[in-house]
Amino acid sequence: MEGEVGRFTFLTHTVEDAHGACYNTATAFFPDLHGEQWYRTRGFKEIALLQGGVERSYRKTAALINRIRHQPEATPARTLQQASEAEGQRLDQALEQKAAKILETAGFTAAGTPLGATTRYGPRAPYRLAAKTVADAVAEAVAGGGADPSWQDDIAANPVPYEDPARTAQVTIDDVGVKQQKEQRTEKDAGDRAGAGGKDTATHYVHNTIIHVQQEEATYTLNGQGTTATLPRLIAWLWFNDLLRYNLVFSVHLI
């Protein structure tokens, strides 16, 4: 067992009858493991993943964990990396299943396309701030010295109405490309870099789509592998939080 207090083992027991094993205290309470895998406590995951791998490298996190537990090399960086990736895959699968269930309940296809009439989604008319509300806000800003008096006329003449922030959600979609790190560097890699003046001629990138949703002071971030895979989750999240009936203002930056 991998725990925040250290790595430890304990005995398990098996009950057998005439047909063989009929009860095992390990498999009755824990999922099956393969190879040299270890069970991990919630405390270990909090330290290793939430307070460790999210904030620093696997190597530094592993060194810190082993130092705290006084067990040098008990948890190598490679093992910590594999555990983090496995945990991330399970989380991603859970989000995918949750989004698919929401879309099915809301009347969307798995790709996020509405089934049938779409009039029940979105406001009947955009939610706008009343002209008096805008004028009062500008007058207050001018009186407080935070705005130039000439702004009052310019804002009053603005042909574009102002969205009501209480009924508006800002959605920012950004495709991000990060350089893929090689697990091991070889002599050939060093030679390629030297021949290219120190530049890696075989650089590969991993592309993720980051979606940031903000509704007044509340914010949420979705991260997925590509726009096509992430947009259905966005639709599911907006529907689940009853934001499809709000003004939706999109800012999109795609690679």
Write out 117-142 in H/E/C secondary structure. CCCCCCCCCCCECCHHHHHHHHHHHH
Q: What's the token pair of residue 178?
A: 């990060």
| pLDDT recorded at residue 161 | 82
How many Å apart are CA 204 and CA 212, to the nearest integer?
26
Grouping H, G, I as helix, E, B as strand and the rest as coil, residue 2 is strand
Sign (positive or negative) of CA dihedral 37, 41, 42, 43:
negative
Given a cut of 80, whether residue 215 has pLDDT beyond it is: yes
If pLDDT is split at 50, 70 and 90, which confidence band does 213 have? very high
Given a cut of 90, whether residue 214 has pLDDT beyond it is: yes
Sign (positive or negative) of CA dihedral 156, 160, 164, 165:
negative
Between the ranges 63-67, 104-108, 234-238, 244-248, where is the mean pLDDT highest? 234-238
Between the ranges 118-122, 170-174, 226-230, where is the mean pLDDT highest? 170-174
| pLDDT recorded at residue 188 | 58
Nearest-5° angle of CA 46, CA 227, CA 254?
Answer: 110
| pLDDT recorded at residue 175 | 87
Nearest CA to 69 among 149, 8, 127?
A: 8
Average pLDDT of the chain? 82
Predicted model pTM: 0.70
Is 169 within 8 Å of 249 (Cβ atoms)? yes
How many Å apart are CA 112 and CA 244, to the nearest integer?
13
Give the pLDDT confidence of 156-210 residue by residue, as tens digits.
777 788 889 999 999 999 988 777 666 555 555 555 555 555 555 567 777 889 9
Given a cut of 60, whether residue 22 has pLDDT beyond it is: yes
| pLDDT recorded at residue 97 | 94
Give the whole-number percent of the chain exceeding pLDDT 70.
Answer: 86
159's CB contacts (< 8 A; 6+ apart) are: none
Better-predicted residue by pLDDT, 27 or 88: 88
| pLDDT recorded at residue 98 | 95
Q: What's the token pair of residue 203?
A: 């650089």
